Amino acid sequence: MMIFRWRQVAVPAMGLLLAAMVGCSDNGTDPTGGGGTGATVSFAADLQPAFNLSCLNCHGPGGSGGLELTAGVAWANLVGVESQNYAPRQRVMIANPNESILYLKLDGAPGVGGRMPTGGALNDVTIEKFRVWILEGALDN
């Protein structure tokens, strides 16, 4: 008798669970709204403006430390590029902000010289965008 009651409850419950799981399956859309890449931070729209406002005084053409951050060349000068002053560490190590000199300097981490930019730190929201961008693959987007 006990087995019969268990089946009366368990079988319908399993059916509901299965229906819920099917309803939650991936339908091919990108929940982040990032145009299919899964990225939530855009290099061009979110990060380049920070460079333009706060970094180009030192990192314009012929930039300090061999780093130029002007539009059109900034991404190529950062991602996967060995840091001139902290070699062999990379300026931006894809998916690893804690090993990326750019992020460490923006965040004011010890062991990488002074915090950047020298005129005053970026706000926490902007610094977090850099961290997330690196975690998301440091895309040229």
- Of the ranges 27-36, 76-85, 103-112, which one carries the lowest mean pLDDT score? 27-36
Q: At 1, is the secondary structure helix, strand, or coil?
A: coil
The pLDDT of residue 36: 53
pTM (2 d.p.): 0.74
pLDDT digits (tens, 9 = 90+) for 12-68: 444 443 343 334 333 333 333 444 568 999 999 999 999 999 999 999 999 998 999
Please state, in angstroms and rounded to a whole number, the distance separating the CA atoms of residues 26 and 107.
36
b/e code 111-141 from CB counts within 10 Å (16+ = b): ebeeebbeeeebeeebbebbbebbbbebbeb
- The owner of tokens 């229906």 is 19
The pLDDT of residue 38: 86
Count other C-beta atoms under 10 Å from residue 104's C-beta: 21
* CA atoms in the 13 A half-sphere facing the CB of 74: 20
Q: Does the pLDDT of residue 96 top 60, yes or no?
A: yes
Q: At 92, is the secondary structure helix, strand, or coil?
A: strand
pLDDT digits (tens, 9 = 90+) for 112-138: 999 999 989 999 999 999 999 999 999
- The owner of tokens 């070699």 is 87
Q: How many helices (H) and strands (E) does the chain have?
A: 6, 0
Sign of dihedral through CA atoms 128, 129, 135, 138?
Answer: negative
pLDDT digits (tens, 9 = 90+) for 1-23: 445 454 454 444 444 433 433 34
The pLDDT of residue 15: 45
Please state, in angstroms and rounded to a whole number, the distance separating the CA atoms of residues 69 and 136.
20
